[in-house]
Structure formats: C-alpha cells, structure tokens
Structure 1
Amino acid sequence: MPSKAEQKGSVTLQAYADALQEWYDANPGVELRKTSIDIWDQEAMVTAVAGGTAPAIYPSNPLGGWSQPEINSAFKQGLAADVTERIDNSGLVGKLSDYVRPAFESAWKVGGKYYGVPGGYSVGDGIFYRRDLFAQADVAEPTPKWTWADVQRMARALTVKDRKGIAEPAWALSMRFTSAGSGLLTDLPAPDTTWHWRSDYTSMADSWVTIIEDFRRMMFEERSIVSDISYNSWNEVTAAFLRDDVAMRPGNSTSYFDSPDSDTSFASLAKRLDKPVGDVVGWMSYPLGEQGQFPGRRSFITAYSFNPDLGSEALDACFSLYSFMIGPGLVQQVNAVYEKTKDLRQVYDAGTLTPILAETRGKLPGSPEEAWGKQFVDAVLGAGSRMVVPERSSYLPPEEKAGPSSKASEDAFSRWMYERGDLDLRADVRRLEATLNKQAESFSSSVGKEEFVAGAKKYFAAHDEFWQTDAPEFHEQIFRPWYEDRVLPALGE
C-alpha cells in the first residue's frame, strides 16, 4: 500500500490505494507484505522460486527470459502454481477480450494446464514514424500491408543532410528474417535425432541472402540507417528519434503512452512542436514478408504466475486480488484519475486501449481516439485483430530443459549488420546452420519420439490451414511446397 505521503503526491497512486483498500475491506484477515527482489531478472526469480523466497505473485515472462519455450520449461520444472481449476471456476477465459483469448490459450495453456493468468496484452512491436516529416517529404504513410521494401524506399526518401531515414536496434535484422518466415521455415522436425529438431537455412538461402544484402545496402550504400552494435535497447533509437536525427524508429506500441511529463515521450516531442501528438507521431505494425506473411512480431500476452508453495487459501486470495485489479479495481482507478485530471491520455494506455477483459472499455470515459488520435488507435486495433499464429506449445509438450541458445544467431546477425566489406553471405548462412545443428547434438528432448511426431504433425497441419487463410500467396508459393517436400517426409508421411 502506498504511504499517505506518496498518495498525496500522485493522483494515480491515490486511486490505486483506494482500489486496493476496497479489496482489503472485502477480504478481512488477508495481509499483503512487500518484498524486495528484481522480478524482471530471470536468474534472481528462478533462484527465489526454487529456494522458497519468491513473492506470492510475480511476472511469468522473466522466468524464461521472455522466450515462450523457456517459460514453458520453467512451468514444467514447477516454478509456478497450477491455476487451471481457478481459471475454469472463475470463467476467466470467457471474460477475456476477443483478441486476448486466442493469444492466451495458444501460448499459455501448457499440456492442458494453466500456470499463469493474463497480465497485459500488446499488439507487439512496429515502427514509429514522424507524420509531419513524411508530409514534408511527400512520402505516403505506412499501411498494414507494407513490406520491408517499402521501409527501404521510405528511409531513402526521408534521408537528407542532417537526418537519416530510420534508427535500428542491434537486433533489427532478425525482425526482417522473422517476417520472411525464420523460426518456422528454418526449423525442421528431426524425430530420429536426440533434440527432435534441426536448423535449415541453406534450402532457402536465396531469401536470407537477399534480406541481408538489402539491409547492408541501406546501411553502407544508401546510408539511410542509424545503428550501432551497442544499440541493445530501445533507448538509443528513441533518443535519435526525439533529436530529429531520424524519421522512423521501431518500438513497442505501448511507448506511445509514456507520460507527457517525461522528456523522452512522444507527447513531449509534440508539445515542443506545438502540435497534437497524433499529428506528429504515427505507428504501424512491423512490415509483412514479400508474400504477405508474418509481421516481424505479432501480438503477445504478458502473464502473472503464483508461488507454487502457496497453500490453497493463500492462492485463492491471490487469485481474488488479481481478478479484482484487472476488473472492477482497474475501472475504479481509471475513472478516479479522470475525475481529478480530466485528461483522457491518463485514461487510455496499454491496459485500457486493449484491455484484458471485454467489459472494461465500455466502463471508461471518452475514447482512445480523443486521447491519442485516430491513426495510432486504428493501427493498434487493426494489429490486434490479426489471427494468432499457431504456437508450438499448443501442440507439443514443453521441454524440461530449454534447447540451444540464440548466441550463434545473434553473432551472425551482428556480423551481417555491422561488418564492412565483402562478406561471403552464403558461406555464412551455411556456417550458421552447421553451428546450430552441432549445438543441438548435445541436447536431448524430454519428449518421446512418438509423442513428438504426433504433436509435430498437428502443429504443422495447423500452420498449413492458418497460412492458407492468412497469407494465401505465401501458402501457395512458399509454405505448401516446403511442407510437402521437407516436413511431411521428415514425419514419415
């Protein structure tokens, strides 16, 4: 509970305290204690849960370093309480917003059980852009069907003497790979191996080499990109964007909601230019692949888990608190803040523009368009309406231990992004594949061969059906031939 002094200095904290007190009043005898631990640190949290010193409630995603397979492995290891019965009894899934429900069920239902509850929903990452600079350069704004070729063209047109087209973080190239199908087309089932999977970059080397060449052309020839190997967070690209050094920068849509009082917010940039924020900064989800597939990152759910050492009564109380704070408590807080501030920007943020529960939006004042502008709201809601890509975890049991690390891939991407000179890209792609497969030889799957084959067949069949609807051109030209020639034979079909 925030102190009286903290509440006095913050409308938001006062509203939070009032909502929390209401739950306290309805649950006499329950006591909450604050504990000090870095809940975002994977090692710290895994150690705390295993050692019996973890908080009662904590974010699920850091347990696996924000990697869904590793999160599922953490659940398999018993690092979170099974809350399936409580979710079923509360009817929570039926209360979720339409865009949250499939994303939650596909990613967070592990082996038929739930070990987490929805904490937040995000349509994921995309690209922020300066609408005013696009207008000045007479460049058409992005649309939901744009591609990376459009980004290259726009960046080139927006690059002038004192400004580059786009600032990119150190992982930028991986997003272009994902848009082309990396993570699906690069992972072949191999049930006769110990890990059951093998990497395959060489069969579609032409695609990967073209993507690398296009990025390097932007970086070293057109010089329309600002990036550095040290850009390991959003901070560097944000700073370049706010300094007017670039006209575009990637980032999560939730950054739009940063406090107007912050010097690093888009609202402060708009204030400096004496314009509404919606007229200055736009956002669009990551570009599609050339055949209409895969935005670089789709919507995702953040979740909360509960300490597996909690007794039944304590777990009931924690689940009750969670249910209240994402429902009536949230609505109470937001309306209280609006009554004091009359500022719709403090009403609509990541938790209320795309709320977890379907009924929330109808209980809030005003509209998100009034707060943030139509372009941004339409782009976010449009991204949220996209179908959810089939997740492995919905079809295959979680591994007890996570597989090979991503370091080899990260090293390769870094070389391709920043090393000058002529590189033998095809040799690099072959080398990456060989390295990943060599690493996989030292891992053993905890899933039996027959169980793996059965699950993999269902997983790839789901993708076959998904892409036929979501991206017919990609399905016909890329996925279906690959599925028939590479996947089905590997699974004995």
Structure 2
Amino acid sequence: MTKRFRSVAAAIAIGGLSVAALAGCSSDAAAPADGTVTIEIGDRPTADRPEDRAYFDERVAAFEKANPDIDLQPVETGYDASTFQALAAGGSLPDVMSVPLTEPQGLIKRNQAADITDALESEGLLDALNPTILALTKNSDDRVFAIPTNAYSFGLVYNRDLFAQAGLDPENPPKTWDEVREAAKKISDATDAAGFSVLTTANTGGWQFTGMTYSFGGTVENEDGSKATFDDAPSTDALELLQTMRWDDGTLPENTLYDVQSQGQDFAAGKIGMILGASDSYYNVVQNLKLPAEQFGIGGMPQSGGTQGTLSGGTVQIVNPNASDAEKTAAVKWVEFFYLQRFLDEDTAVEDARASSEAGSVTGLPGLPVVNADQYSEYFTWIADYINVPSANFTPYLEASADIPIVPEPVNNAQEVYGALDTVVQTVLTDKGADIPALLSTAQSDVQSRLSR
C-alpha cells in the first residue's frame, strides 16, 4: 500500500466520476471451466488522470495476484445521476461500483442492487462495519445491499483561539442551538470576529439549511423523495434562529454570499468563530488555507429540543443485482481490498500512514468511520506514530457523533432542492423583514414541482 491509496480511493469514493464506458456487465457470462470468477469493477480513473489510473491498475494487479481465482475487468463506468437508470435498465452496470449514500434505499426498492449479506458474513466483514451507517443500506428484513466506504456528518467547526479570547471553553463547544447563539454573542462582543456563519451559494446554503432542519427535528423530503416536507416548524425555527442572530444579535457576518472557499478563507483568517462542517473541513481551513492546526476545533452538530439528528453523506459500493453468489463474494473481496483494508489490517494501515506522513499529507484525521468503533480505535492505535493532526481537538465531535442519529441527504434531486433553498437562506440574511413562512411556502411549491417531474 502506498500513499496513493488515500487520494485515489477518496476521489473514487466521492462517486462523481462520469460515465465514460458502457460495457456490459459480466454477470450473465458462464463461469470458466478453470473455476476463475470474472467481475467487472467500475470507477477506473479516466486517461486524463494518468497517475490515479496507474495506481488503480496497480491495485487491480495486486488483488489478482493475491486472489488468483478472481479476474478483474476494470471499466470507467461511475455513478452519474443522469445516466444511472438507463444503465440499470439496459443491464450495463458493472458488477461492483460506487454510488452516493443517498441511493441504497431507492435501489433496494427497484431491485437494482444485490443482497450481499451472505457474502459479507462469509468474508467476516459484516461485523467490522459501522452499524449506524450500515443501517442505511438495509431493507426491512435486515438484509444488506451495499458496503459503506466513505462517510461524513455535520458538526460545529470552531476557532479554539477565538473561544479562549471570548472566555469560552475550547474543550466544551456548544451542544445546542441556544448555546451556539450565546457563544456567538460572546465571540462577537470580545473579538473582531463574527460569532457564526452559514453558507449561502452554489447549493451549499440549502445543503446546510437541510442539516439545520434535521437538527431541529425536521426533514426536507419524505422517505421516498416524493414530497417536500420543510414547510413546518423545524425549518421555520431554524430560519428564525438565523434571522435573530443576523438582525437582532448582529453575530453573523455582513457578507451573506459565502461558498465553501470564501467562508473558509474568512474562518482561517480569524474573522469567523463558528461554522458548520465535517471533520474533513480540516483539509480546507488548515492544510489549504493555513489556519494554525492547534486552533481547529470541532464538536457535534448542535441540536434543538433534544437529540434529533445530523446530516450525513458519503459513498457505498453496490453489486449488480444479477451477480451470482461467486461474483458477489469476489466483489466484496475487491471492496475490502481497495477501500477498507487499511482499517482492517495493521501492516496496510502502518504502511499507508507512514507514506502519507512522509509525503507531508494529513495523516490520522478522525471522522465518521465506516468501520465499527472498536476497529476504528484499533486503527488509530496502529498508526499512532504517524498521526500529524491535533487528535484531541476532534474529541467533542467524536463523542457527540456517537449519540446523534445520522440522517441521509434528500434522496430525490438533492442538488435542485438545495439550490431552491439557497434563495430562502439568502433572503433571510439580506432582508430584515423577510416573511419566513411565505418564503418556505413558495420554496416548497417550487421543490414539489421538481420532485413530481
């Protein structure tokens, strides 16, 4: 295992590779007389990413060497919402490929993913996975239809130095939205920084507003994505909080048009005390934008009215529904080898961490794990000598995340929903007299028309 694992596997795990090859899957082919199982694996990096492609091919060769009875046929087919259904209907899905964490429930209902429970059990992988995330891949009979390989959940990212200047405890960040409001006022009063900020543009405003709605106990779509559901108290309460903090408390920035990069720049410059983000926000604000690492803090997603939930996203691997038992087992073996081995094998973990650390890359960043808590803890024990992030600063996030339910992103047209909600958030932050119920009612009608298409 080399340092390439982290960058390539992470890039593939995002699930954003375009469909560039439509070769038919191998599932219907007769098994060779020699007993070799042949499966088609998706997500091979395209030729315009030569280093990533070469690494992927190296891992394929290494897997085949370790598993001489399995023949892998890599293809560039990756998840694309605009073409996935056509591929599925035409029988052209690879035997294994990445899809977003939003998709498994819909795939299960449409019989577009294989039941891989038995293969996971036979490979000893089922109990190694994070049961909370795994639950999002199961049907009502507790059968598993996908393997989580990448996950995140919202939390409260904060500047520990600004907390100290405001008399707040950096080891004990706010756990409720009332506490966020109080902390924001203290930061704004004691420093030149805005206490809190949210994203508002490029669909990110709707994305974070969805996360806030979850934390107030609401949703923006029903379970099957057929109905918009945010014209109610939780969404109203979330917007009223932002309205109050912006216009009454004066704790939000004057700049109301933030995307991830511009907000990250102001946060890294000490101009904002708290933002919403996942643990991988560390890459942007510390590694890229040079916030001193010791100033980075993250807690759990603030909650309102009890423990409600936090928005979660990520990537899972699905297996073609027509796959034979032997092909399912081969697919599970490949997923474990390429995506999960560093969490499950000490030698692989140490080699990967050593290479990453020596290359100056972020190593040992905590987050929402796809493996179970015991396995994740053991992984960090293995790589302890190579961790180069302030691990203790992530403790509030990890402790809170163990108790807060994760809620997946909207399953139907999520990006369009987020775009419609961008406008709502922007209006509340720019118009002191914004009529929140009217804004939500209009947006709900707009979103419902998109969901009904």
Q: TM-score higher than 0.5 here? A: yes
SS in 2 for 1:32: strand
What is the aligned partner in structure 1 of residue 436 from structure 2? 425
- From 287, 298, 301, the equivalent of 1:286 is 301
Residue pair 1:408, 1:436 contacting (<8 A) in 2 also = no
Q: 2:215 aligns with which of 179, 182, 198?
A: 179
Determine the C-alpha separation between the residues in 2 that align with 1:95 and 1:375: 25
Q: Alpha-carbon deviations, 1:107-156, whole Å to 9, x = none?
A: 2112423221121343x111211111222233333736622222223223
Q: Which residue of 2 aligns with 1:365?
A: 382
Q: Which residue of structure 2 aligns with residue 42 of structure 1?
A: 81
Assess if the C-alpha contact under 8 Å between 1:20 and 1:329 holds in 2. no
Query: 3-state DSSP class of the match of 2:115?
Result: coil
Q: Hey, what's the Cα distance between the residues in 1 that align with 2:246 and 2:342?
A: 48
Q: Which amino acid aligns with 1:237?
A: Q
* Counterpart for residue 129 of structure 1: 158
Matched, 1:103 2:133: yes
Match of 1:386 among 403, 427, 432: 403
Distance 1:432 1:91, change over 3 A: same
Give the conservation status (yes or no) of the 8 Å contact 2:357–2:388: no
Other-structure match for 1:337: 352
Please state if 1:26 is matched with 2:39: no
The answer (yes or no) to whether the contact 1:121–1:350 under 8 Å persists in 2 is no
Letter in 2 for 1:238: G
Contact 2:231 2:440 in 1 (8 A): yes
Q: Do structure 1's residue 218 and structure 2's residue 229 form an aligned pair?
A: no
- Evaluate the alpha carbon distance shift between residue 150 and residue 368 of structure 1 in structure 2; reply closer, same or farther with a 3 A threshold: farther
Instruction: Tell me if structure 1 keeps the 8 A contact 2:96–2:318.
Output: yes
Quote the Cα distance in structure 2 between the aligned partners of 1:280 and 1:162.
16
Q: Show the counterpart of 1:324.
A: 337
Matched, 1:90 2:123: yes
Q: 1:336-381: CA deviations, max 9, x gaps?
A: 1344566697552358x83515446436535399643353331232
Aligned to 2:112: 79
Cross-structure match for 2:169:
140
Native 8 Å contact 1:146 1:287 kept in 2: yes
Change (3 A) 1:209 1:315: closer
Q: CA deviation at 1:251?
A: 1.0
Q: Which amino acid aligns with 1:378?
A: T
Shift of 1:418: 3.9
Structure 2 CA distance for partners of 1:130 and 1:374, relative to 1, 3 Å: same
Whether contact under 8 Å (1:337, 1:346) holds in the other structure is: no
Q: Helix, strand or coil for the counterpart of 1:114?
A: coil
The answer for the alignment partner of 2:28 in structure 1 is: none
- 1-side partners of 2:52 and 2:364: how far apart? 13
Contact 2:413 2:451 in 1 (8 A): no
SS of the residue 1:110 aligns to: coil
Q: Could you tell me which amino acid in structure 2 is paired with residue 385 of structure 1? A: A
Distance in 2 (alpha carbons) for counterparts of 1:87 and 1:55: 19
Alpha-carbon spacing, 1:349–1:46, altered in 2? closer, same or farther (3 Å): farther
Classify 1:153/1:359 alpha carbon distance in 2 versus 1 (closer, same or farther; 3 Å): closer
Deviates more, 1:359-368 or 1:303-312: 359-368
Q: Across the two proteins, how many residue pairs are aligned to each other?
A: 394
Give 2:96's aligned residue. Answer: 57
C-alpha distance in structure 2 between counterparts of 1:57 and 1:152, whole Å: 46
CA displacement, residues 51-76 of structure 1 (integer Å, 9 cap, x when unaligned): 44444322231xxxx5x4x5422332
Unaligned runs of 5+ in 2: 9-50
Q: Does 1:159 align with 2:188?
A: yes
How far 1:245 moved relative to its partner?
A: 3.0
Aligned amino acid, residue 402 of structure 2: S
Take 1:340 and 1:437, find their aligned partners in 2: how far apart are those partners?
A: 47
The question of whether the paired residues in 2 share the 8 Å contact of 1:166 and 1:224 is answered with yes
Check the 8 A contact 2:217/2:308 in 1, yes or no. yes
SS, match of residue 280 in structure 2: helix
Q: What is the CA distance between 1:158 and its match in structure 2?
A: 2.6
Q: Match of 1:60, SS? A: strand
The question of whether the paired residues in 2 share the 8 Å contact of 1:115 and 1:305 is answered with: yes
The residue type equivalent to 1:215 in the other structure is L
Counterpart Cα distance in 1 of 2:451 and 2:287:
51
RMSD across aligned C-alpha pairs, in angstroms? 4.7
> Relative to 1, partners in 2 of residues 1:424 and 1:255: Cα closer, same or farther, differing over 3 Å?
closer
Between structures 1 and 2, the one with greater helix share: 1
CA distance in 1 between partners of 2:399 and 2:386 (Å): 14
TM-score by length of 2: 0.68
Contact 1:164–1:226 (8 Å) recurs in 2: yes
* TM-score normalised by L of structure 1: 0.64
Q: Deviations over 1:156-215 (max 9, x none)?
A: 33337864223311234443332221129x979xxxxxx7x795856x4xx655543331
Contact between 1:19 and 1:333, CA under 8 Å: does it hold in 2? no
The letter for the 2-side match of 1:80 is A
1:321 CA displacement: 1.5
SS of the residue corresponding to residue 169 of structure 1 reads coil
**1:207-247 deviations in Å (ceiling 9; x for gaps):** 65554333123334544324877645x33322322233322
Contact 2:420 2:443 in 1 (8 A): yes
Q: Is the 8 A contact 1:348 1:371 kept in 2?
A: yes
Aligned to 1:239: 265
Q: Which residue of 1 aligns with 2:37?
A: none
- Tell me if the contact between 1:15 and 1:336 (Cα under 8 Å) persists in the aligned partners: no
Q: Please tell me whether the aligned partners of residues 148 and 176 of structure 1 are also in contact (alpha carbons under 8 angstroms).
A: no
1:440–1:51 CA distance, 2 compared to 1 (3 A): closer
Q: List per-residue Cα deviations over 1:376-397 (Å, max 9, x = no partner).
A: 3312321332164799xxxxxx
Q: Post-superposition shift, 1:284?
A: 0.9
Counterpart contact for 1:103–1:388, Cα < 8 Å: no
Q: Assess, with a 3 A threshold, how the Cα gap between structure 1 residues 41 and 48 changes in structure 2: closer, same or farther.
A: same
Cα contact 1:187–1:200 (8 A) shared by 2: no
- The answer on whether the counterparts of 2:64 and 2:72 sit within 8 Å (CA) in structure 1 is no
